[in-house]
Amino acid sequence: MAILALVVQLYSFVLFIRFIMQWIDKDGTNQINTALKPMTEPLLEPVRPKTTFSGIDFSPVVVSILINVAVSVLGSILP
């Protein structure tokens, strides 16, 4: 379970970087943004239409919260 928690923490950090990059790299051509997109888009794309307000995409924050909640629930269920 500790390995899963570590992987989730790392992925949450990547999602946070994507959230910050939307202000730094508005056109999405930065090398960091380009490298992170293939790792994050499969989870962000379905959530994005419901989590974009006033031009700000909150999908990385929402997905990070959902993943952390799921891991917490799994941690409490599994021995």
Q: What is the DSSP letter of 69?
A: H
Query: What is the per-residue pLDDT for 29?
Result: 84
E strand map for 3-69 = 52-53, 56-57
- The tens digit of pLDDT for each residue in 6-51 reads 999 999 999 999 999 888 888 878 898 889 999 999 999 999 999 9
Query: Which tokens go with 42?
Result: 């499969």
Domain that holds residue 47: 2-7+16-77
Q: What are phi and psi of 57, to 5 degrees?
A: -90, 110
* pLDDT value for 79: 67
Please tell me whether the overall predicted TM-score, pTM, comes out greater than 0.75 for this model. Answer: yes
Identify the pLDDT of residue 40.
Answer: 94
Please state, in angstroms and as integers, the Cα–Cα distance from residue 61 to each residue in 1, 54, 57, 68, 79, following that order. Answer: 23, 16, 9, 11, 28
Counted domains in the chain: 1
Q: What is the pLDDT of residues 63-79, one digit of tens each?
A: 999 999 999 998 888 76
